[in-house]
Each structure stands twice: as structure tokens, then as C-alpha cells.
């Protein structure tokens, strides 16, 4: 337990926030700090063929210790954290033998992690939790996954009696801004399949995710003195507001669950002469996904007919549902499920209400379902991770390697 705690805390102390407005890879220079640390750590624990490329993608190998052919499998996590919340100067706290009650994260600002609101907390009573100080995120997404992969590889190095085939490890930048797999060299990684260790609570096993797109609507207006504006002024803010009000009001993140899709307005700025709306579009069903994009295009087209051509829309696909790539090789899911069951972990097989590097990698020829890393409440100050869940993730990784070798 102490080893994985120390490893994880050393990672979250390094700010690796990514930047969606940057064109470089990685999108922020500070991601290199942790990337270079991970390279040295992989070498220290005995991994071979450790490499980091010009875009900070890390790969390493644990050679097979068997005398027969065994599929090469991989484990992948990302080291950036979300730009949605500060990851600077993270000060994690360790709560031992959690009593099941509210945790005061920050007394000065009255920030409380309460099981009355976050009811998942109750299941970890008696366990060791790592929480924030209420001013930053924690970074368990996905530094917990990295700590678990490296700890599992170290365990296999130190226990050669455990038979396994060739294991590949990969760590990526910029996953949180949807670019984690964009420059991942699948042929260099050279695995038959892989698992991202990037899920949430213990037991999660995911092989389907949203189809995703990002959209930007721009309105160009005409500013005229309001006293003389009749028939002349075009208020770009009002046009953007009309777009928003014509979107289905209940098809938003806060009103949907499971496989239900949504529109999510995440940025809005403007003045009379120009206003811009940014939103993301999500749906598990491909036909419904295409229908959502068509709806937004239709709204803009109809408003242009009503007001004149003052609106434009740009929609770009981000990633697609990996289920169609995983189902033909479903044994990769069954192996992970078996590993959990052997370890008395109840598999929670459900669709991801988001995406991982694995969704893109699956379409790049590397089938890649997602396994829990243990954290909760990602992307904010209420984030926490139970250490026992991290330990179980390590055990699942080791057990998958054993099962693949045995089969």
C-alpha cells in the first residue's frame, strides 16, 4: 500500500494540465516533466526498450518469460490532467480508516466531501482515501492508472515465477483534450490488444463509449445605435440565444444517463457584432449521433432563413463508439472479466459516458477496452481515490497477464 501511495503522490505533485488551444504535442511543456520522470522509473524497475518520442509518447516492454508463443498485450494510461480545473500545487491528503462521514477538504472555504451528496463514499468506509485540499483536482485521472501499471510491472519483474507473455506499456499526453491517441504509433507498440487503465470505481469494465463531436456556432451581427435600431440592428448575442433555446432542453448532461445522448454548451462569448457558441455532441447510437449533428445544422439553416445569413456552424467528429471494433474480438473483454471475478471483484460492465484513448486506438487497429483505475469525481476539487481500489487494479493487471499466458 505504501509503495503505491508514494508513487501516486509523486505523480500528482507535478502539474500536467493540457491545453486545448495549443497546437503542439504535448499541448503544454510541463507535461514533459512527468513524462521524463516516468521514463527513468520504467528503466529503474527493469523494463526494456523504454522510449519517449518527440511528442512525449512513452513505450516500454516487459519481455516474455515463457518458452511458447503468447499474445502480446498492452496497458495504457495518460499523464495529462484536464484543463477544466486547476492541477497546480496539488496537496493530497490521506484519510486512513475512513469513518463514512463528511470529510472537510478546506475549512477556510467550507468545502466538504460529503456522502450525503457523493453517496459512493459509503462503500469505502474503513478504507484509506486520498483526497484534495479543496483548491485543486487530485489527478487520479489518470495518474492512478499510471501508478497501477508501473506497480504491476514492477511486481512481475520481481516475481519471475509468474508466467506471462510480452507486455507492452504506453503512456500518452493530451488525452483530456481528445488528442491522446492522435500520434500514438500502433505499429511500434506492436500488441495484439491492450487495456486502458482509465476508468472510475472498482470493477468498471467498459468496451463501448460515446460517439463524439465538437461544434462551434458563430453569429455575425450589425451594431446600430439602439435608439435607431429598428429594422437595422442584428444582435449576434440574440441569434446565439435562439440557437440554444431550440436545442432539446432535457437532452443535456445533467438530465441524461446510461446510453442517453446530449448536447452540452461549454463555452459562450459575444457582443452585438459577433458571438460564438461552443458545444459538444454525444450519443452512443451512431444513427442518433448523426441525427444530433443534423439537428444543429437544421437549426442554423432555419434561423438563417428567418433572419438572413448571419449564422455559421462548424462540426468536427472527435471519436466513435469502440464497441463495433471490440465485439469481433470479445475475448479481450472476457479475459478482463475473468481476472476480476477470480479476485472477487464484481465486474461493472457499462457504457462510458465519455471517451478514452482506447476508443480511438480501437479504430486504429488496437482493440482497447477500459478498466477501472479507482478514482471518483474526476475533474474537480471533490476528486478522491481509495488506495485499496488502486491495489486491486494492480492485481487485475497481473491476473490478466497470467490468464493470457495460461490460455
CA distance to 31, 44, 45, per residue, from 40 (Å)? 15, 6, 9
Cβ distance 215 to 295 under 8 Å? Answer: no
Give the integer Cα–Cα distance in Å for 172 and 311: 37
Report the DSSP beta bridge partners of residue 130.
94, 385
Q: What is the grid cell recorded at 96?
A: 486512513
For this structure, is 388 an active site residue? no
| Torsions phi, psi for 174 (to 5 deg) | 60, 20
Give the integer Cα–Cα distance in Å for 241 and 234: 13
Q: Are strands 311-319 and 348-349 parallel, antiparallel or unpaired?
A: unpaired
Asked if residue 26 has a cis previous peptide bond (ω within 30° of 0), the answer is: yes
Sign of dihedral through CA atoms 335, 340, 344, 349? negative
Cβ distance 138 to 132 under 8 Å? Answer: yes
CA distance to 27, 70, 213, 271, per residue, from 279 (Å)? 21, 45, 9, 18
For this structure, is 250 an active site residue? no
Q: Which of the following is catalytic: 41, 141, 148, 175?
A: 175
Q: In degrees, to the nearest 5, what angle opens at C-alpha 285 toward C-alphas 209 and 378?
A: 30
Q: Which of the following is catalytic: 19, 80, 174, 206?
A: 80
Residues known to be catalytic: 80, 175
Amino acid at each position: 500500500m505504501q509503495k503505491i501511495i508514494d508513487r501516486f503522490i509523486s505523480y500528482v505533485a507535478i502539474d500536467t494540465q493540457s491545453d486545448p488551444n495549443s497546437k503542439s504535442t504535448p499541448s503544454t511543456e510541463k507535461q514533459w516533466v512527468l513524462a521524463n520522470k516516468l521514463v527513468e522509473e520504467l528503466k529503474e524497475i527493469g523494463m526494456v526498450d523504454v522510449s519517449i518520442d518527440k511528442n512525449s509518447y512513452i513505450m516500454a516492454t516487459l519481455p516474455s518469460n515463457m518458452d511458447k508463443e503468447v499474445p502480446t498485450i498492452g496497458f495504457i494510461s495518460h499523464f495529462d490532467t484536464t484543463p477544466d480545473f486547476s492541477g497546480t500545487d496539488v496537496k493530497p491528503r490521506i484519510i486512513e480508516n475512513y469513518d463514512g462521514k463528511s470529510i472537510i477538504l478546506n475549512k477556510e472555504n467550507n468545502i466538504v466531501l460529503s456522502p450525503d451528496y457523493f453517496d459512493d463514499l459509503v462503500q469505502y468506509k474503513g478504507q484509506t482515501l486520498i483526497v484534495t485540499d479543496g483548491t485543486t483536482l487530485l489527478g487520479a485521472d489518470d495518474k492512478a492508472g499510471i501508478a497501477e501499471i508501473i506497480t504491476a510491472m514492477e511486481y512481475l519483474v520481481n516475481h519471475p515465477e509468474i508466467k506471462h507473455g510480452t507486455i507492452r506499456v504506453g503512456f500518452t499526453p493530451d488525452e483530456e483534450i481528445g488528442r491522446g491517441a492522435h500520434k500514438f504509433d500502433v505499429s511500434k507498440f506492436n500488441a495484439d490488444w491492450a487495456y486502458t487503465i482509465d476508468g472510475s470505481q472498482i470493477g468498471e469494465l467498459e468496451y463501448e463509449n460515446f460517439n463524439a463531436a465538437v461544434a462551434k456556432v458563430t453569429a455575425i451581427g450589425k451594431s446600430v445605435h439602439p435608439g435607431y435600431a429598428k429594422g437595422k440592428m442584428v444582435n449576434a448575442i440574440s441569434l446565439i440565444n435562439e440557437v440554444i433555446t431550440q436545442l432539446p432542453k432535457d437532452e443535456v448532461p445533467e438530465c441524461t444517463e446510461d446510453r442517453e445522448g446530449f448536447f452540452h454548451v461549454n463555452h459562450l462569448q459575444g457582443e452585438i457584432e459577433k458571438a460564438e457558441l461552443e458545444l459538444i455532441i454525444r450519443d452512443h447510437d451512431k444513427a442518433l449521433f448523426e441525427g444530433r449533428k443534423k439537428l444543429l445544422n437544421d437549426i442554423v439553416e432555419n434561423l438563417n432563413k428567418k433572419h438572413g445569413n448571419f449564422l455559421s456552424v462548424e462540426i468536427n467528429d472527435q471519436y466513435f463508439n469502440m464497441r463495433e471494433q471490440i465485439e469481433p474480438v470479445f475475448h479481450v473483454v472476457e479475459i478482463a472479466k475473468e481476472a476480476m471475478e477470480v479476485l472477487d471483484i464484481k465486474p461493472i460492465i457499462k457504457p462510458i459516458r465519455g471517451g478514452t484513448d482506447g476508443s480511438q486506438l480501437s479504430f486504429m487497429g488496437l482493440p482497447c477496452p477500459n478498466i477501472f483505475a479507482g478514482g471518483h469525481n474526476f475533474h474537480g476539487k471533490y476528486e478522491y481515490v481509495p488506495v485499496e481500489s488502486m491495489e486491486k487494479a494492480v492485481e487485475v493487471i497481473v491476473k490478466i497477464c497470467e490468464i493470457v499466458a495460461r490460455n
